Chain A
């Protein structure tokens, strides 16, 4: 990889710090529509079963509850301390699992199971074990060496015994939210969490044979300073997680209500935000982490880094994954599925999701079928996000297009980015430079057909790029 040192002028910053999708999918969720419902989902699953070698399955379970509100949160979650709500939720979830599993041919193996939220450990290890068992009784879990069961954990509500219990159930990857250890930042975002607490659970994962541990950090939070964030980065690097994600905070209170509780006057300036990001890149690189792309870093022997080197890295709603080419089955409120060339999403509010299941319906409320153009652009953006380059010749072959002709408009939009040194346009590929790799979404946006449409521009639905 090229040198990690990057120099941005204030002018560049202004021009590229604009709202854009994170491209965990293309097309992005705003393109989903109500015309795609239960019937369409049944059709696409049936068709996916009909492939000569049907894809394996990645299962995602959404647990929407959190005991305490973090003010930066943009996720779909419900704040409650009432554990009975978890039980009621699971009763519906098991109904959904039965309904959905029935659509898939029995020989399709599940290669990945991920729990996200909200806070998945709002559920007890015993409850999580019951969910895994229920899934095992409805899906055939792969016996392959790389089969993963992963979970996002809030270190404040989990201890070493819980980790041991999760390991016994079969969990082998964990991701911990940290954001920042700076007490002033923690107070401003309403999330107090000690270094000791976090280190204890990270160590417990190691002791219990977890294959990898990830730590999430966020830059751009209120009260955040380069000094404080530097200490956090040093502390995290010493914990030696296999992966680190450093997300940019997106302040969009008109979309994410919890963010209204956050004091916007304490947010760092654009220049400080960029300094924080540069700090993260330099510190993590110095500590031996490789930049994977889009906020993610990994140790060289971690499977993400190895997969990237092999060219088999993949990106989906769960972030980066080594499990390319699986159909994604989302379960639980607001969960998104990606089967064949379709996307579908469950209702984002609990009552609608429950009502559908109580009536014995598949709880899909919107989605879309991708057309050939969507499939092509999704392929392009996937390659850009995972390999840091657009493989022009390979795309021409795979999709039977003349790249220069097909993407004439996009290439015009890309020209200023090339002039600014974000991309290098070669004969058979377009490469993101070290500077450009930090602005992958700006590059991807040049190829996003839907950003041209007024609906996408009218209200900022996406967070800023930096």
Chain B
């Protein structure tokens, strides 16, 4: 499906690597490049810092809780799930990281990763050595600003689902959230694939897996969306936005 860019159906264009002066279209730091005041030299510096790693296959771990923290990474292609396992062995999903988003930010505080990161499908990463990018950020104001922006977004997202929301509201907020994030990277806002299994969605939204399906089935019956296997089409965005707005606060 040509208009479903996520995940990309054509493995040959798994990721757009860009050039020294124009980074990948999905890059988390592309905003930094576009900001005024970035000279070619600093762009070059940033690009040299980037280490392209992958592909990782579904189920591969990118890092595990307790691993020494060395780098943050931007997702270039695929979906990464971050999660922890509690003392009783129960998994808690922290979040899903889509192309263009950064993993490892929550490790900056300590010197070890506080969670696990696993590939949900074929994943490619841009890895940035944290000590090196920190040094560069002191010289490049645009980069520093972008780092802070990413950090604050990461904190904000985690707090969204903590409220006392209904299953419909959680589901709508999740779908609108994913849609907006994909749209921000130039992917289709209304037609995309849910690469995460429903148990992960359920865990993340603190719902039972059956509830996830039940809510989606009802949305489908009401003509709000259409589900075909993992593929989703939002048909009545307004209805979903209305449900999601209190959760997403805008």
| Residues in A lying within 8 Å of B, measured CB to CB | 46-47, 49-54, 105, 107, 340, 372, 398-400
Contact = CB atoms under 8 A, between A and B. Distances in A.
A54 B213 contact: yes
Nearest to B171: A52
B81 to A, nearest CB: 12
Contacts of B230: 50-52
Nearest to B4: A400
Given A107-B209, A107-B210, A372-B9, A53 B220 contact: yes
Contacts of A49: 197-199
Contacts of B200: 50
A340 B1 CA distance: 18
A125 to B, nearest CB: 34
Given A105-B209, A107-B210, A400-B1, A50 B197 contact: yes
Given A105-B209, A107-B209, A52 B1 contact: no
A46 B199 CA distance: 11
9 contacts: A50-B197, A50-B198, A51-B197, A52-B227, A53-B217, A53-B220, A107-B210, A399-B1, A400-B2
B201 interface: yes
Given A105-B209, A107-B209, A51 B229 contact: yes
- List 8 A-B pairs, minimum CB-CB distance, nearest first: A50-B197, A400-B2, A107-B210, A400-B1, A53-B213, A53-B227, A52-B216, A53-B216
Contacts of A53: 213, 216-217, 220, 227
B9 A400 contact: yes
B150 interface: no
B212 interface: yes
A54 B198 contact: yes
B9 A51 contact: no
A398 B231 CA distance: 11
A12 B197 CA distance: 52
Contacts of A107: 209-210, 213
B224 interface: no
Main secondary structure of the interface of A (DSSP, over half): loop
B227 A50 contact: no
A51 B2 contact: no
Nearest to B196: A50
Interface string B108-149: 000000000000000000000000000000000000000000
Contacts of B1: 398-400
B49 interface: no
Contacts of A400: 1-4, 9
Interface in B210-233: 210, 212-213, 216-217, 220, 227, 229-230, 232
B101 to A, nearest CB: 21
Given A372-B9, A400-B9, A52 B212 contact: yes
B142 to A, nearest CB: 37
B194 interface: yes
A325 B210 CA distance: 19
B209 to A, nearest CB: 7
A391 to B, nearest CB: 16
A54 B4 CA distance: 21
Contacts of B4: 400
B2 A52 contact: no
B154 to A, nearest CB: 25
A340 B213 CA distance: 17
The CB with the most chain B CB atoms within 10 A, among A49, A51, A398, A400, is that of A51
Contacts of A50: 196-200, 230
B199 A52 contact: no
B193 to A, nearest CB: 10
Contacts of A399: 1
A49 B200 CA distance: 11
Contacts of A398: 1
A142 B209 CA distance: 18
A52 B232 contact: yes
B3 to A, nearest CB: 8
Select the residue from A47, A52, A53, A398 with max chain B CB neighbours within 10 A. A52
A398 B213 CA distance: 23
Contacts of A51: 197-198, 229-230
Contacts of B220: 53
Contacts of B210: 107
Contact of B194 (A47, A52, A54, A372): A52
A54 B217 CA distance: 10
A31 B201 CA distance: 35
A29 to B, nearest CB: 23
B120 to A, nearest CB: 10
A53 B212 CA distance: 8
Interface in B160-208: 194, 196-201
A54 B212 CA distance: 11
Nearest to B120: A50
A192 B213 CA distance: 52
B200 to A, nearest CB: 8
Nearest to B194: A52
Contacts of A372: 9
A456 B9 CA distance: 29
